[in-house]
């Protein structure tokens, strides 16, 4: 690993081999399914819990954690009986406790991380080490375990590959620990031969460490080379060996760095731009950060010669590098007829969430007006709650570049670096929530621009039955005495909060400020799921059914809906299973298993049987294409295809002939209809006719020709079947006279030769539909639409506090589950509505895609405002932050309106395009930005009151 120096007990080749070990090789399962693990499941759970607690009590930078696939780890948790969140709604006597004496199928097998690692080269990031797939989400795709936990799990189960990651310390004021799951990948371009090589390093590694790694890999001496920040194939800055981290140097995931030799052998094309001119270079650390507000001249390299050559002489504020575009960098070269404000933001690695929120903010008219003027006198460097003005300076610099002319797109690297420093929760390269970023930005900008330099102490008074108008005015005055900024002027409103004790009826009324309103979506309690039902007795073709169930329901609810959809008979039952990589990953046999454990991108099947047969021997049939060569035949079974079939066998003694008969019966619905010696697919999606062509039906009993290799002779079955294990890693030819005891789970692999492909239509086994196909485009599903007003009503409804959020009653002197009621008292000029589309749990994050019908013009909020102050509360929409698709793989964009020209535009990272107003209302809307109509006069009046900052 780039950031870990061989921490694994296995080297790379050993890890690669271990990832393909068979269950027999792993040393924990012997014949007859007897466990040879050194301890019971209960002991495993105890040991792992103790090791986790020990690790959490000794957190420090450099500690090793290991990434493990959630799929495998959940199997282990079920095996050892971990009581996860998904069982919290079950009663203690109904929970399914899995112990060593339970079904041996629940044993997880070797650690399997194959579903979270790259299977090959992915872009430029090629290295001998195994790397994670992109866009993985913790808890949903992988879990992190401390080194000692990994060592124990690997000792018990083997498998892999090992994926070690280091713990790093992040943040400036709020330091917190984080495991660097995705180290920084840099693409090294050697100008001597134009070769490219991927380098993996921690983003906390120093530039000196980068030099050492580059020089070691390329066999050069450090004092004879120089390295350039070569972002977007342009020389941005020369890197100098120092203790400065790669993150502080604004290096981004997957970007280029350029190696040049000082003897003049570098290729000349790397020092030129697209026009052949030598590039204007920005020094990596200017002695002072020059700064230009709108109106001052600017040089082409982004450094100004304006009237503010040094914002704070001798101070610590400095932006260092500036965010540069890929085109023209001057602020104020407005050409005739050119529109400003249409500059895109480049994606720096899952930063679409940041780009979306930023585009909405930089198109907020009063903020644009403010940051395009000289606001230097309002920078608050002394505020302990702020960021010494650095966030406001970085945001203002970025806004001015986005509003300069001649730009196509900006790479906001410096701004992202500030986020990593002051808000480490947004560091790295994972997808985040645009609303969470917006909340941080509004709060951070306010503190950096707070006109109050010394906050006075104010003791809050109780309402004591005073008129609401008096209490509200007092609360707002106290708030403004400590908080006075352009953000308060523009974005903050006030709501009334009423709490009533359910025991003594004590009433508490407070008036609190707000910067946005998070509105619940009152509908969408159901979930659509697609399940494919197979006949376990071979009596019909599979059918896919779409059913509607409660989102918070259980597997028993899904089974009930399926019974109705597929007209299940009273003497029949359904067996639910998840199919993953053409294998049965797990059986969903626990009735109270929550449906939230089934993700939308999974493939769920059901097998229907006679109830009386489901206590017998279970037979699982896997499918594999027949390979022509011996080397292909001996492969590990990665060529599996289609959906496994399951049936039950009768009798105390099961023979190989019985298994073949059962397999033939299950395949019978897939027989091709025969006509004129040519095969074609039957059209009926139900039972097939018995009147098949005699030649076609008789060809079932064929022999496998030219398919015998050494060690596979004496195969006396007409179908080519092999016995296998539950991992489908070992293969043993099945013979007719082989006998098995009843009650076991038997697994066989059916090899499909040319004969089977001619006789049976394998398409019925392929292409299982997902539980729910997430559409990347936003559908206007108005049939289940809800209005913005209904969301507001749900936000303002009276409701009891949750058990984890109880209120301390001053009269009872105890915490009570009080009744809470919110009311809007005062609304700001800019109001942001956050539609709460996401719900979060330990293992799953859900998204609600319901269409919210929100007005673009004339949103009248007057009826929601208690304070009748005579102001107009009519609002116009001017920006939207959109979220498309599901979680993890979703994407953020923005719609924003240029108010001056009354036109809407779509901002999709670096791409900007016009859009019709009629097309901006979609089910992807996540954040809605409204501006009060006719509020300019009021704002101008308020501005006069801030001519002098409070000291």
Poorest-pLDDT segment among 469-473, 483-487, 645-649, 741-745: 741-745
Q: Say if residues 516 and 834 touch (Cβ distance below 8 Å).
A: yes
Per-residue pLDDT tens digits for 515-530:
999 998 875 567 789 9
Poorest-pLDDT segment among 96-105, 267-276, 664-673, 732-741: 96-105
Q: Say if residues 655 and 670 touch (Cβ distance below 8 Å).
A: no
Mean pLDDT for the stretch of residues 816-834 = 93
Q: Which two tokens stand for residue 602?
A: 């999974």
Q: What is the pLDDT of residue 514?
A: 95
pTM above 0.75, yes or no: no
From the number of C-beta atoms within 10 Å of its C-beta (0-12, 13-18, 19+), residue 944 rates as exposed
Q: What is the pLDDT of residue 524?
A: 54
Poorest-pLDDT segment among 36-50, 55-69, 561-575: 36-50
Supply the DSSP symbol for 104: G
Q: Considering only CA atoms, which of 562, 727, 713, 552 is closest in space to residue 637?
A: 727
Does residue 352 have an active-site annotation? yes
Mean pLDDT for the stretch of residues 314-324 = 42
Of 695 and 626, the structure prediction assigns the larger pLDDT to: 626
pLDDT class for 82, splitting at 50, 70, 90? confident
Span between the terminal Cα atoms of the chain, in Å: 53
How is 511-544 classified by DSSP, letter by letter? EEEES-EEE------EEEEEEEEEETTS-S--EE
Strands 653-655 and 739-741: antiparallel
Q: Considering only CA atoms, which of 152, 225, 231, 368 is closest in space to residue 899?
A: 368
Q: What is the pLDDT of residue 95?
A: 31
pLDDT of 332 higher than 50:
no
Poorest-pLDDT segment among 399-408, 656-665, 820-829, 834-843: 834-843
Percent of the chain topping pLDDT 70: 73
pLDDT of 557 higher than 80:
yes
Domains of the chain and CATH, by start: 41-82+106-118+129-179 (3.30.2230.10), 184-261 (3.10.20.90), 526-627+641-671+719-765 (3.10.20.90)
Q: Please state the φ and ψ torsions of residue 204, each to the nearest 5 degrees.
A: -90, -5
Poorest-pLDDT segment among 117-121, 833-837, 841-845: 841-845
pLDDT of 343 higher than 90:
yes
Mean pLDDT for the stretch of residues 309-329 = 38
The per-residue pLDDT of the chain, averaged, comes to: 76
Write down the catalytic residue from 603, 722, 772, 891. Answer: 891
Q: Say if residues 836 and 520 touch (Cβ distance below 8 Å).
A: yes
Q: Say if residues 152 and 49 touch (Cβ distance below 8 Å).
A: no
pLDDT of 880 higher than 70:
yes
pLDDT class for 775, splitting at 50, 70, 90? low
Q: How far apart are CA 596 and CA 163, in angstroms?
A: 28
Q: Which two tokens stand for residue 15?
A: 């890890």
Q: What is the pLDDT of residue 538?
A: 85
pLDDT of 658 higher than 70:
yes
Q: What is the pLDDT of residue 849?
A: 82
Mean pLDDT for the stretch of residues 617-623 = 89
Mean pLDDT for the stretch of residues 41-53 = 90
Per-residue pLDDT tens digits for 409-424:
889 988 988 888 888 7
pLDDT class for 489, splitting at 50, 70, 90? very high
Q: How far apart are CA 613 and CA 648, in angstroms?
A: 6
Mean pLDDT for the stretch of residues 328-345 = 60
Q: Give the other-Cβ count within 10 Å of 166's Cβ.
A: 21
Q: Say if residues 607 and 587 touch (Cβ distance below 8 Å).
A: no
Q: How far apart are CA 73 and CA 926, in angstroms?
A: 33
Q: Say if residues 891 and 884 touch (Cβ distance below 8 Å).
A: yes
Poorest-pLDDT segment among 331-335, 541-545, 906-910: 331-335
Mean pLDDT for the stretch of residues 459-475 = 86
With H, G, I as helix, E, B as strand and everything else as coil, classify residue 384. Answer: coil
Q: Considering only CA atoms, which of 888, 890, 882 is closest in space to residue 923?
A: 882
- Any alpha helices (H) in 375-496, and if so which ranges? 390-402, 413-422, 434-448, 468-482, 486-491
**Residues in contact with 437: Cβ distance below 8 Å, sequence separation at least 6, in sequence order:** 353, 354, 357, 419, 426
Q: How far apart are CA 568 and CA 559, in angstroms?
A: 10
In the block, tokens 């079939």 appear at: 645
Of 567 and 102, the structure prediction assigns the larger pLDDT to: 567
Q: Give the other-Cβ count within 10 Å of 706's Cβ.
A: 6
Q: What is the pLDDT of residue 173?
A: 61
Q: Which two tokens stand for residue 288?
A: 């002072």
Write down the catalytic residue from 125, 185, 352, 491. Answer: 352
pLDDT of 336 higher than 70:
no
With H, G, I as helix, E, B as strand and everything else as coil, classify residue 624. Answer: strand
Mean pLDDT for the stretch of residues 185-190 = 90
Q: What is the pLDDT of residue 253?
A: 84
pLDDT class for 357, splitting at 50, 70, 90? very high
Mean pLDDT for the stretch of residues 438-449 = 94
Q: What is the pLDDT of residue 904?
A: 96
pLDDT class for 94, splitting at 50, 70, 90? very low
Q: What is the pLDDT of residue 732?
A: 87
How is 61-98 classified by DSSP, letter by letter? TT-EEEEEEHHHHHHHHHHHT---GGGTTS-TTTS---
pLDDT class for 639, splitting at 50, 70, 90? confident
Q: How far apart are CA 6 and CA 355, in angstroms?
A: 37
Of 244 and 316, the structure prediction assigns the larger pLDDT to: 244
Of 780 and 828, the structure prediction assigns the larger pLDDT to: 828
Does residue 946 have an active-site annotation? no
Q: What is the pLDDT of residue 530?
A: 92
Q: What is the pLDDT of residue 312?
A: 33
pLDDT of 275 higher than 60:
no
Q: Say if residues 292 and 298 touch (Cβ distance below 8 Å).
A: yes
């Amino acid at each position: 690993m780039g950031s870990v120096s061989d921490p694994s007990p296995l080297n790379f080749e050993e890890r690669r081999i271990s990832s393909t070990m068979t269950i027999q090789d792993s040393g924990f399962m012997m014949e007859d399914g007897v466990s040879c693990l050194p301890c019971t499941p209960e002991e495993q759970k105890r040991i792992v819990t103790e090791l986790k607690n020990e690790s959490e009590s000794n957190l420090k930078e450099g500690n090793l954690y290991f990434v493990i696939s959630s799929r495998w780890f959940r199997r282990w948790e079920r095996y050892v009986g971990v009581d996860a969140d998904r069982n919290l709604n079950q009663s203690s006597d109904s929970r399914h406790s899995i112990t060593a004496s339970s079904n041996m199928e629940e044993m997880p097998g070797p650690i399997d991380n194959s579903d979270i690692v790259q299977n090959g080269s992915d872009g430029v990031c090629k290295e001998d080490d195994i790397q994670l797939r992109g866009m993985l989400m913790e808890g949903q795709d992988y879990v992190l375990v401390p080194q000692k936990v990994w060592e124990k799990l690997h000792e018990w189960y083997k498998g892999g590959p090992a994926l070690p990651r280091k713990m790093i310390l992040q943040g400036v004021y709020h330091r917190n620990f984080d495991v660097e799951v995705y180290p920084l990948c840099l693409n090294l371009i050697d100008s001597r031969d134009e070769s490219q090589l991927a380098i993996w390093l921690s983003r906390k590694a120093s530039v000196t460490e980068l030099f050492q790694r580059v020089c070691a890999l390329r066999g050069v001496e450090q004092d004879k080379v120089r390295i350039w920040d070569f972002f977007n194939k342009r020389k941005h800055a020369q890197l100098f060996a120092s203790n400065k981290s790669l993150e502080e140097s604004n290096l981004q995931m997957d970007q280029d760095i350029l190696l040049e030799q000082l003897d003049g052998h570098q290729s000349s094309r790397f020092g030129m731009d697209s026009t052949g001119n030598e590039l204007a270079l920005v020094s990596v650390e200017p002695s002072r950060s020059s700064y230009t507000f709108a109106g001052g001249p600017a040089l082409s390299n982004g450094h100004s010669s304006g009237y503010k050559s040094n914002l704070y002489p001798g101070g610590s504020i400095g932006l260092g590098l500036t965010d540069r575009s890929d085109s023209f960098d001057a602020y104020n070269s407005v050409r005739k007829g050119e529109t400003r404000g249409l500059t895109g933001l480049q994606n720096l690695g899952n930063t679409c969430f940041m780009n979306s929120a930023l585009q909405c903010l930089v198109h907020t008219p009063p903020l644009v007006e403010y940051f395009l003027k000289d606001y230097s006198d309002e920078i608050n460097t002394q505020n302990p709650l702020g960021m010494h003005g650095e966030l406001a300076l970085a945001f203002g610099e970025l806004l001015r570049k986005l509003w300069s002319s001649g730009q196509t797109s900006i790479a906001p690297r410096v701004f992202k670096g500030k986020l990593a420093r002051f808000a480490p929760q947004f560091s790295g390269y994972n997808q985040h929530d645009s609303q969470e970023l917006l909340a941080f930005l509004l709060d951070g900008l306010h503190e950096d621009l707070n006109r109050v330099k010394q906050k006075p102490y104010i003791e809050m008074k109780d309402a004591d039955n005073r008129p609401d108008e008096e209490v509200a005015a007092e609360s707002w005055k106290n708030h403004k005495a400590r908080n006075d900024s352009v953000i308060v002027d523009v974005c903050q409103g006030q709501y009334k909060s009423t709490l009533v004790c359910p025991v003594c009826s004590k009433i508490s009324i407070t008036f609190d400020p707000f910067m946005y309103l998070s509105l619940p979506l009152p509908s969408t309690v159901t979930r659509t799921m697609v399940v494919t039902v197979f006949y376990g007795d071979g009596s019909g073709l599979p059918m896919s059914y779409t059913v509607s169930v409660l989102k918070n329901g259980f597997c028993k609810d899904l089974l009930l809906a399926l019974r109705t959809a597929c007209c299940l008979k009273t003497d029949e039952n359904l067996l639910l299973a998840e199919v993953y990589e053409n294998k049965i990953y797990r059986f969903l046999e626990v009735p109270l298993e929550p449906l939230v454990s089934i993700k939308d991108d999974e493939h769920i099947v059901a097998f229907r049987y006679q109830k009386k047969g489901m206590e017998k021997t279970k037979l699982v049939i896997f499918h594999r294409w027949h390979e022509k060569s011996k080397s292909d035949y001996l492969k590990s079974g990665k060529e599996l295809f289609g959906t496994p079939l399951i049936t039950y066998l009768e009798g105390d003694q099961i023979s190989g002939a019985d298994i073949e008969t059962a397999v033939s019966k299950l395949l019978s619905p897939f027989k091709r209809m025969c006509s004129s010696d040519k095969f074609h697919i039957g059209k009926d999606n139900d039972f097939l006719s018995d009147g098949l062509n005699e030649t076609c039906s008789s060809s079932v009993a064929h022999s496998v020709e030219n398919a015998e290799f050494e060690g596979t002779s004496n195969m006396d079955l007409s179908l080519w079947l092999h016995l296998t294990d539950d991992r489908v890693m070992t293969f043993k030819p099945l013979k007719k006279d082989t006998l098995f005891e009843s009650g076991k789970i038997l697994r066989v692999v059916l090899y499909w030769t040319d004969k089977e492909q001619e006789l049976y239509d394998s398409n019925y086994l392929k292409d299982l539909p997902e539980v729910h196909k997430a559409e990347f485009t936003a559908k206007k599903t108005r049939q289940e639409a809800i209005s913005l007003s209904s969301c507001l009503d749900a936000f303002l409804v009276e409701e009891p506090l949750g058990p984890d959020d109880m209120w301390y009653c001053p009269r009872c002197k105890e915490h009570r589950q009080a009744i809470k009621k919110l009311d809007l008292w005062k609304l700001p000029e800019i109001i942001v509505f956050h539609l709460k589309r996401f719900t979060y749990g330990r293992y799953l994050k859900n998204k609600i895609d319901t269409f919210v019908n929100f007005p673009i013009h004339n949103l009248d909020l007057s009826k929601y405002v208690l304070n009748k102050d005579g102001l107009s509360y009519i609002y116009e929409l001017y920006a939207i932050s959109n979220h498309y698709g599901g979680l993890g793989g979703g994407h953020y964009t923005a719609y924003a309106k240029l108010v001056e020209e009354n036109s809407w535009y779509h901002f999709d990272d670096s791409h900007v395009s016009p859009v019709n107003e009629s097309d901006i209302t979609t089910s992807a809307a996540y954040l809605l930005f409204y501006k009060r109509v006719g509020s300019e006069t009021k704002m101008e009046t308020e501005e006069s009151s801030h001519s002098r900052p409070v000291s």
